[in-house]
Amino acid sequence: MTQQTKYTEDNIRSLDWKEHIRMRPGMYIGKLGDGSSPDDGIYILVKEVLDNSIDEYVMGAGKTIEISIQGSKVSVRDYGRGIPLGKVVDVVSKMNTGGKYDSKAFKKSVGLNGVGTKAVNALSSFFRVESNRDNKSASAEFEQGNLINKELLEESSRRKGTKVSFIPDEVIFKKYKFRSEYVAKMLKNYVYLNPGLTIIFNGEKFFSENGLKDLLEDNNNKDDMLYPIIHLKGNDIEVAITHSKTQYSEEYHSFVNGQHTTQGGTHQSAFRESLVRTVREFYGKNFEASDIRKSIISAIAIKVMEPVFESQTKTKLGSTEMGGGLPTVRTYINDFLKTQLDNYLHKNPAVSESIQKKIVQAEKERKELSGIRKLARDRAKKASLHNKKLRDCRVHLGDIKKEAHLETTLFITEGDSASGSITKSRNVNTQAVFSLKGKPLNSYGLSKKIVYENEEFNLLQAALNIEDGLEDLRYNNIVIATDADVDGMHIRLLLITFFLQFFPELIKEGHLYILETPLFRVRNKKQTYYCYSEEEKRNAIKKLKGKPEITRFKGLGEISPNEFVHFIGDDIRLDPVMLDKEMSIDQMLQFYMGKNTPDRQKFIIENLKVELDIVEEV
């Protein structure tokens, strides 16, 4: 007979606010991560503090925000009104305490009732808040949410405003590192959405005069734009639109009340629908929606009264109403585009002609590909039934979009031994493995047709489920896992070429990574160190003293599954692949994958290192 667990009053436990946040951080900040991904928790902490400073600017208080990140310590200083001095402790440490419950003061606020700052406090090993106003200051210091020091109502000549400093707790965020590129991108979005605001980050100034128009210009090379950016503004809406000359897919940047909604939502869906409807009516032709939107690069920002998001991290809008007596989100956006975009196209015949030519060309290409696409899909379905090219996981991105703290990964490997090691070591729930057969084809200069005709590319596209864009992408992270030798580097370059050529949005939106694996194992009978560089190897030898055993891993297949589990688990090291906006994708591909001279090939091999980063290395 099975023994039953007793369920009594002793089983009932109440957690205080900080205990609950530390026990369930995913509920408040999404996933944790180590800083290698733009939506990792340490960046959400920065964002939560910044949101309060942005709200001050929106309310007309303080035009400059200063941010410093030195090592693991973050400081954010604004020149807003300052927190009321008697409430400095409460607003960062008491739930259901904040200034945003008064909807008159924060009708279209970015933050949400001060929960964010409390989460930062609870998840930091050090947290300090200081408020200056009325020639006085008050401050408080915390450790893991516990108040350790407070100074109230001191005389002060400092400028009014609030300063928050914190260090993310290494107990929660293990081996993390801030990447300045991710922080800079976040700050740029803030200034695009708040023209006139100045943000200074480690001495670098961020400022925008033209809002979303600047966003598209800064994120894309002007030579790749089919026509000048269409920039439209209304009371609670702003839109920027252009088409790419070379990109196949659709690209959207969407925002609500200053929040970057990376997963879209009702406003982005309404924008896509309204764009198609307006274009069809303007040209008087029932074009296919996919032909109208192919290669589009666009941004939309709206302001909504008391928005409803699908998670605390606010990455997807759930609201259907604009609020304040306005129509629904869908109707509001449709009416705006129907009037403003239609007017623009009538006044700018050169632009409307370019768009029409692009649509007709997209229609032609779609019809040419229709037969081969069907054959390729059927082939992919049959292949997935009888081969082991894709060893899938049980959970996919579409299943967990409402649980931001979960994520899924696809490892792209080459060779049976490497694939076998990762397959045996992986988490079968969230980690999948795609095994390449030798080196992939160099896809530079080839048309989309090759994606369907080449078995490797066709099956990889099917595994990712990105044929029609990223809406149904099955994995958060796409990780290239190859040996750190010349052949491995070449495979990386060929795969990156494939993604740049046909699916650049995967890279632009931060989904593509390189897996770092150790080059050496240094051990004695008691301790083992895995080293990712010569320097780490030298340090390990010093620590172990004597004559430790040193193993040089020549390939991933040489690492046993028992060891590999460490390198793709909690201690995984990923290097993001990023784009250099100074070069267009076409220019980049031409330089690296065109008819290279021996000198250029040597440059690629020497610079495409394990810590590949297109911004810095390639």
Cα distance between residue 493 and residue 511, in whole Å:
16
For 489, the 3-state DSSP assignment is helix
* Contacts of 158 by beta carbon, 8 Å cutoff, 6+ apart: 132, 137
| pLDDT on residue 501 | 83
Q: Within its chain, how far is the Cα of 291 from the centroid?
A: 27
| pLDDT on residue 12 | 46
Nearest to 604 by CA among 496, 466, 462: 496
pLDDT digits (tens, 9 = 90+) for 44-72: 999 999 998 998 898 888 899 999 999 99
Q: Hey, which residues does 574 pair with through a beta bridge?
A: 515
pLDDT digits (tens, 9 = 90+) for 21-33: 888 888 888 888 8
| pLDDT on residue 399 | 63
Structural domains in the chain plus CATH codes: 17-206 (3.30.565.10), 212-366 (3.30.230.10), 387-517+553-607 (3.40.50.670)
| pLDDT on residue 30 | 81
- Contact between 229 and 214 under an 8 Å Cβ cutoff? The reply is no
| pLDDT on residue 580 | 62
3-state secondary structure 408-440: CEEEEEECHHHHHHHHHHCCCCCEEEEEECCCC
| pLDDT on residue 247 | 80
Cα distance between residue 406 and residue 25, in whole Å:
12
* Contacts of 83 by beta carbon, 8 Å cutoff, 6+ apart: 91, 129, 131, 133, 138, 162
Tokens coding 13 = 């436990």
Q: What Å distances lie between residue 591 and 63, 245, 595, 612, CA to CA?
A: 42, 18, 8, 17
Cα distance between residue 588 and residue 584, in whole Å:
6
Residue 245 backbone dihedrals phi, psi, to 5 degrees: -75, -30
Residues (pLDDT < 50) of the chain are: 1-2, 7, 11-13, 101, 103-105, 112-113, 385-386, 402-405, 607-618
| pLDDT on residue 333 | 94
Residue 4 has what DSSP assignment?
P
| pLDDT on residue 336 | 96
For residue 139, the tally of other CB atoms under 10 A from its CB is 19
| pLDDT on residue 106 | 55
Residue 67 backbone dihedrals phi, psi, to 5 degrees: -125, 135
